[in-house]
A = this chain, B = another copy of it.
């Protein structure tokens, strides 16, 4: 069984705890840190959206459609569905000559509660543009334009993209190939599931996911087209980090603060991956029970704090994510989230400082 990585304290006792595993590798495949089982395949979910966006750039679609930093960042996002995210997804579709009803991700209310209430106050209901994956899907539609050879006319595109979420559609074959190429893991023998937005998700070990993100952050070990695409996506996200998450989201806040030193991306069910280009490292985390907000985030924040060279102010900023004070409805401090002793010891031994 995996070790405890995060403790949730209340008063003078540990109330709950989260087990999990973490792998930190360099682009050559050397393991800098491993806690828990890093060789069992896990579904990476949305933590690999940046890898799934590699074909969007490599294919030339991003350049030909003149996708902006904001739009490329949104293609890597699990966004809050805030108005700016919605407008940006719509702009991507417009550049591709596509309509909202071509998106096959489904609709859900925004993750961002104030946006939900604002929509309700305006009498609105959610569309696929509010779906946290709408940027990724808009990117798939843009990729389709390239794969179909830039045929003119909306009718052809509509026919071509239909069913793009299916594993055997040319779009999804290209996306899965990028995942295979970057992780080096044979997806044909991987466990397979369907993701929240209906595309396939493949079980991949943390070892291969951390390797892929070390490659994503350095270009080392990627083919030329993917290396260039990775650099372009990292630059875009560093310039428009709000697009990747949104208000009150750790991904956006951390990348806003730390710039190109960190590319990090959360995924459902306790997944978190990051590239730390400065140190040439990739990080992959899975919380066994699937908890994101308070477990995967604490582990990733603790990892960034140890592995990235930070100023005192930046370290204090990261403390807000790695040692969280829990308050109740009256604002009274009632507990805390903390990285466990085994995790802190393992990270301290690999510290950048």
Chain A residues engaging chain B, CB cutoff 8 angstroms: 1, 8, 10-13, 15-19, 41-43, 104-109, 113, 116-121, 123, 131, 191-198, 201, 203, 269-270, 287-291, 295, 328-332, 334-335
**Given contacts A131-B329, A194-B332, A197-B329, could you give 17 more A-B pairs where the C-beta distance is less than 8 Å?**
A1-B19, A11-B192, A11-B201, A12-B192, A13-B41, A13-B193, A15-B193, A106-B328, A106-B331, A107-B329, A109-B113, A113-B116, A116-B117, A120-B120, A121-B121, A198-B328, A288-B289
Contact of A288 with B334 at beta-carbon distance under 8 Å, contacts A116-B117, A117-B117, A191-B12 already known: no
A316 CB → nearest B CB, Å: 26
Q: Which residues of B contact A10 (CB under 8 A)?
A: 43, 193-194, 201, 269
7 A-B pairs (CB sep. < 8 Å): A8-B290, A10-B43, A15-B269, A194-B332, A194-B334, A198-B328, A198-B330
Q: Are B117 and A335 in contact (CB under 8 A)?
A: no
Which among A10, A195, A270, A331 has the greatest number of chain B C-beta atoms within 10 A? A10
Contact of A116 with B108 at beta-carbon distance under 8 Å, contacts A270-B16, A290-B15 already known: no
Which among A116, A290, A295 has the greatest number of chain B C-beta atoms within 10 A? A290
A165 CB → nearest B CB, Å: 9
A89 CB → nearest B CB, Å: 15
CA–CA, A288 and B289, complex, Å? 9
